[in-house]
């Protein structure tokens, strides 16, 4: 009897292994290849390491397990006059980041795209501090459950420091050729030294953001906070005897804005739930 059921047991075990394998395959994150012709080279490794350092990282909000008040994020203001920043960013970009992070921190967020033309009325009412219009607007549909209206403003975006240094070997190469007495060795040393070119440059930005939480019924300010972060952008290059190497990078403006939003949402999550 035992021998009669053995093939069925073996088949069941095989099916179980297949299901486990399929389950792990479904749960695994998607992976993608790198079709770049430089993949695996030293330049690719360095560039990817820099990109990994700047990649998006989820924040573990301290009170994520506790549900926060229902809220709406309205577009804030960009008070900086820096042309580089204002050309790249609009208030809606910052509000998009804020909706994402507040949802990750377990705040029920009514997305702006669901509000349609009401969004302009809501933004105007809370920016002007008009409680009558605010109360009237908040009696419509899902807005009735909203407790907070939140906005994020850029107060500062400026390059506060820049430093450059470099070495040009042509002068040294000329001196070696002169003091070499016209010998072939002196000429060769002068040629090598004259071919050396190095350069480094670093720029540091300071970007500051404020959040403001307003009561959805009265438009009164419930809380506010401010943080600023440094952003460094650098470039380096070396050339010797026709062989050159260069690199440039740093955290971009998009990443800096998202990190600022994450920092402020962490503050809201920690203090006001």
Mean pLDDT, the chain, as a whole number? 77
Residues 6+ apart with CB under 8 A from 124: 130, 133
> What span, in angstroms and rounded, lies between the C-alpha atoms of 71 and 31?
35
| CATH classification at residue 159 | 3.40.50.10610
30 inside domain: no
Residue ranges of the alpha helices (H) in 105-252?
118-128, 131-137, 170-179, 184-194
Query: Is 256 or 44 the better-scoring residue by pLDDT?
Result: 256
Helices (H), ranges, 60-152? 83-88, 91-104, 118-128, 131-137
CA nearest neighbour of 249 among 67, 59, 54, 83? 54
pLDDT, tens digit, 9 for 90 and up, residues 151-194: 999 998 887 776 766 556 565 555 555 655 556 655 555 555 55
Structural domain boundaries enclosing 213: 60-271
Q: Which two tokens stand for residue 229?
A: 């972060």
| 21-69 residue pLDDT tens | 545 444 677 877 777 777 778 777 777 777 777 788 899 999 999 999 9
- Whether the per-residue pLDDT at 5 is higher than 50: the answer is no
Which strands, in side-by-side order, build the sheet including 243-250? 71-73, 148-168, 197-215, 221-240, 243-250
Handedness of CA 85, 91, 97, 101 (dihedral sign): positive
pLDDT of residue 104: 97
Provide φ and ψ at 114, rounded to 5°: -85, -10
Q: What is the pLDDT of residue 256?
A: 87
Q: How far is CA 239 from the centre of its chain?
A: 32
According to the model, what pLDDT value does residue 215 have?
93
Domain contains 20: no
pLDDT band of 221, cuts 50, 70, 90: very high
Element (H, E) at 263: helix 253-271
pLDDT digits (tens, 9 = 90+) for 130-151: 888 888 888 877 788 899 999 9
3-state helix, strand, coil in the chain (%, to 5): 45, 25, 25
pLDDT tens digit sequence for 257-267: 899 999 999 99
Number of domains making up the chain = 1
Is 247's pLDDT higher than 80? no
Residue pLDDT, tens place only, 202-213: 778 889 999 999
Mean pLDDT of 74-101: 86
143 assigned to some structural domain: yes
pLDDT at 59: 94
- Weakest-pLDDT range from 32-36, 116-120, 194-198: 194-198
In a domain, 186, yes or no: yes
Contact criterion met (CB below 8 Å) for 210 and 220: no
Q: Is residue 183 part of a domain?
A: yes
């Amino acid at each position: 009897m035992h021998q009669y059921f053995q093939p069925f047991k073996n088949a069941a075990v095989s099916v179980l292994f297949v299901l486990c394998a399929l389950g792990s395959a479904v749960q695994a994150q998607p992976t993608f290849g790198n079709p770049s012709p430089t993949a695996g080279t030293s330049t690719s490794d360095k560039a990817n390491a820099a990109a990994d350092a700047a990649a998006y990282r989820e924040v573990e909000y301290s009170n994520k397990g506790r549900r926060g008040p229902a809220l709406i994020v309205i577009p804030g203001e960009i008070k900086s006059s820096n042309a580089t920043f204002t050309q790249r960013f609009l208030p809606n970009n910052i509000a998009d980041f804020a909706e994402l992070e507040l949802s990750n921190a377990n705040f029920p967020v009514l997305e702006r795209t669901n509000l349609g033309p009401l969004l302009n009325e809501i933004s105007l009412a809370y920016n002007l501090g008009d409680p009558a219009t605010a109360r009237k607007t908040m009696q419509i549909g899902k807005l009735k459950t909203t407790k907070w209206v939140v906005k994020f403003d850029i107060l500062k975006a400026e390059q506060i420091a820049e430093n450059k240094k470099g070495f040009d070997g042509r002068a040294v190469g000329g001196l070696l050729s002169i003091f070499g007495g016209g010998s072939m060795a002196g000429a060769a040393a002068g040629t090598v030294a004259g071919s050396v070119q190095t350069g480094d440059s670093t720029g540091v930005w300071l970007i500051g953001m404020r959040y403001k939480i307003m009561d959805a019924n009265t438009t009164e300010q419930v809380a506010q906070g401010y943080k600023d972060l440094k952003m460094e952008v650098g470039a380096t290059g070396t050339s010797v005897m026709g062989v050159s190497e260069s690199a440039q990078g740093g955290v971009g403006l998009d990443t800096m804005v998202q990190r600022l939003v994450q920092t402020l949402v962490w503050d809201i999550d920690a203090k006001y739930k």
